Amino acid sequence: MDRVFYVTTPIYYVNAAPHIGHAYTTIVADFLARFHRLDGFDVFFLTGTDEHGEKIAEAARKAGLSPKAFVDQMSARFKAAWEKLEISYDDFIRTTEDRHKKVVQLVLQKVYDAGDIYYGEYEGLYCVGCERFLTEKELVDGKCPDHGIEPERRREGNYFFKMEKYRPWLRDHIEQHPEFIRPEGYRHEVLAMLAEPIGDLSISRPKTRTDWGIELPWDKDHVTYVWFDALVNYISALGYPEGERYKRYWPAANHMIGKDILKPHAVFWPTMLKAAGIPLYKHLNVGGYLLGPDGRKMSKTLGNVVDPFALVEKYGADAVRYYLLREVPYGQDGAVGEAGLKERYTSELANDLGNLVQRVRAMVQKYAGGRVARPEGVEESPLAKEAAEAVERYRGFVRDLRFHQALEEAILWVRRLNRHVNEEKPWELAKKGENDRLARVLYELVEGLRVASALLEPAMPGKMKVLRQALGLPKTTLAEAARFGTLAAAELPREAPQLFPRIEEKKTVTEEKTEQVPLIEFDDFMKLDLRIAEVKEAKKHPNADRLLVLTLDLGNETRTVVAGLAEHYAPEELTGKKVLYLANLKPKKLRGVLSQGMVLAAEGPDGRLSVLTPDRDLPPGAKVR
- CB–CB of 224/233 below 8 Å? no
- CB–CB of 488/467 below 8 Å? no
- Nearest CB to ligand MSP, comparing residues 231 and 421: 231
d(CA 82, CA 76): 10
- Nearest CB to ligand MSP, comparing residues 216 and 298: 298
- CB–CB of 318/463 below 8 Å? yes
The count of residues interacting with ligand MSP (CB under 6 A) is 19
- Nearest CB to ligand MSP, comparing residues 24 and 500: 24
| SS3 call for 489 | strand
**Which residue in 416, 331, 422 sits closest to 382, CA to CA?**
416
The conformation of residue 492, written as its DSSP 8-state character, comes to -
290 binds ligand MSP (CB under 6 A): yes
d(CA 193, CA 214): 29
d(CA 71, CA 60): 8
Give φ, ψ of 546 to 5 degrees.
-95, 0
130 binds ligand MSP (CB under 6 A): no
Nearest distance from residue 36's CB to ligand MSP, in Å? Answer: 21
- Nearest CB to ligand MSP, comparing residues 30 and 50: 50
- Nearest CB to ligand MSP, comparing residues 261 and 490: 261
d(CA 190, CA 231): 18
Nearest distance from residue 177's CB to ligand MSP, in Å? Answer: 21
d(CA 487, CA 598): 44
Q: Which stretch binds ligand MSP (CB under 6 A): 255-263, 319-327, 462-470, 547-555?
A: 255-263
Annotation marks residue 52 as catalytic? no
d(CA 214, CA 232): 12
**CA distances in angstroms from 398 to 188, 237, 255, 544, listed in the order given:** 22, 26, 15, 29
261 binds ligand MSP (CB under 6 A): yes
Annotation marks residue 144 as catalytic? yes
d(CA 407, CA 318): 13
Among 151, 183, 258, 597, binds ligand MSP (CB under 6 A): 258
**CA distances in angstroms from 136 to 142, 149, 162, 603, listed in the order given:** 8, 14, 20, 61
Among 289, 309, 367, 427, binds ligand MSP (CB under 6 A): 289
Q: Which stretch binds ligand MSP (CB under 6 A): 7-15, 379-387, 463-471, 510-518?
A: 7-15
- Nearest CB to ligand MSP, comparing residues 322 and 394: 322
Beta-carbon count within 10 A of 212 CB:
21
Nearest distance from residue 30's CB to ligand MSP, in Å? Answer: 14
Q: Which stretch binds ligand MSP (CB under 6 A): 6-14, 84-92, 335-343, 438-446?
A: 6-14
260 binds ligand MSP (CB under 6 A): yes
| SS3 call for 233 | helix
User: Which member of 36, 52, 100, 130 is catalytic?
Assistant: 130
Q: H or E element: which one contains 572?
A: helix 571-574
d(CA 370, CA 471): 9
- Residues 19 to 78 in contact with ligand MSP, rule: CB under 6 A: 21-22, 24-25, 50
| SS3 call for 295 | coil
Binding mask 203-232 for ligand MSP (x = CB under 6 A): ---------------------------xx-
Nearest distance from residue 227's CB to ligand MSP, in Å? Answer: 7
- Nearest CB to ligand MSP, comparing residues 272 and 446: 272
Q: Which stretch binds ligand MSP (CB under 6 A): 254-262, 351-359, 432-440, 573-581?
A: 254-262
- Nearest CB to ligand MSP, comparing residues 11 and 85: 11
- CB–CB of 20/221 below 8 Å? no
d(CA 127, CA 148): 10
Nearest distance from residue 551's CB to ligand MSP, in Å? Answer: 50
Annotation marks residue 586 as catalytic? no
Q: Which residues are catalytic?
A: 19, 22, 127, 130, 144, 147, 297, 300
* Residues lying near ligand MSP in the complex (CB under 6 A): 10-13, 21-22, 24-25, 50, 230-231, 233, 257-258, 260-261, 289-290, 298
